[in-house]
């Protein structure tokens, strides 16, 4: 049944990707693209933990989560992961709106976050031998 729980996490991760797809070109909500990208990555990482019968922490720290799954997946762009980790926390509070050191994420940043989240999602599907089409239903 661990595969079923992992599948639930991947369905939730895919839902965030669907949201990103609808907003990624809107420069007004680039911070929300970052938020949903972080959420998708977090849920994809939690799918790995669930699949392997590990405890799934109720934390949103994708760096910490990544460190718990290094036996299963390699993250190729740690800088993006670190940005998403920071932006997730900041985007939850109106004053900061999810700021990078240079300010609000640009459209280019938003696209990079989107592509990163998609890459993690599809790689996790492959690693867990779960057909992405099964997740989309």
| Residue among 107, 59, 109, 102 at smallest CA distance from 84 | 109
pTM of full prediction above 0.85: yes
**CB of 117 within 8 A of CB of 17?**
yes
Torsion angle defined by CA atoms of residues 20, 52, 56 and 39, in that order, rounded to the nearest 10 degrees: -10
User: How does residue 92 score in pLDDT terms, banded at 50, 70 and 90?
Assistant: low
Exposure of 57 in the CB half-sphere (CA atoms within 13 A): 13
Quick: pLDDT tens for 8-32.
Answer: 999 999 999 999 999 999 999 998 8
Domain map (residue ranges) of the chain: 2-135
CA-nearest of 46, 29, 42 to 107 is 29
What is the SS3 assignment for 32?
helix
Tell which CATH architecture fits domain 2-135.
Answer: Up-down Bundle (1.20)
């Amino acid at each position: 049944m661990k595969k079923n729980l992992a599948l639930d996490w991947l369905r939730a991760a895919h839902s965030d990707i669907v949201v990103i797809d609808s907003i990624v070109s809107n420069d007004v909500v680039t911070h929300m693209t970052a938020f949903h990208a972080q959420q998708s990555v977090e849920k994809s990482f939690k799918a790995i933990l669930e699949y392997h019968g590990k405890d799934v922490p109720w934390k949103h720290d994708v760096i910490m989560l990544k460190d718990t799954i290094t036996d299963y997946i390699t993250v190729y762009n740690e800088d993006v992961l670190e940005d998403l980790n920071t932006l997730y926390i900041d985007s939850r509070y109106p004053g900061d709106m999810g700021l990078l050191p240079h300010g609000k994420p640009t459209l280019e940043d938003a696209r990079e976050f989107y592509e990163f989240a998609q890459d993690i999602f599809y790689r996790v599907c492959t690693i867990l031998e779960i057909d992405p089409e099964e997740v989309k239903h």
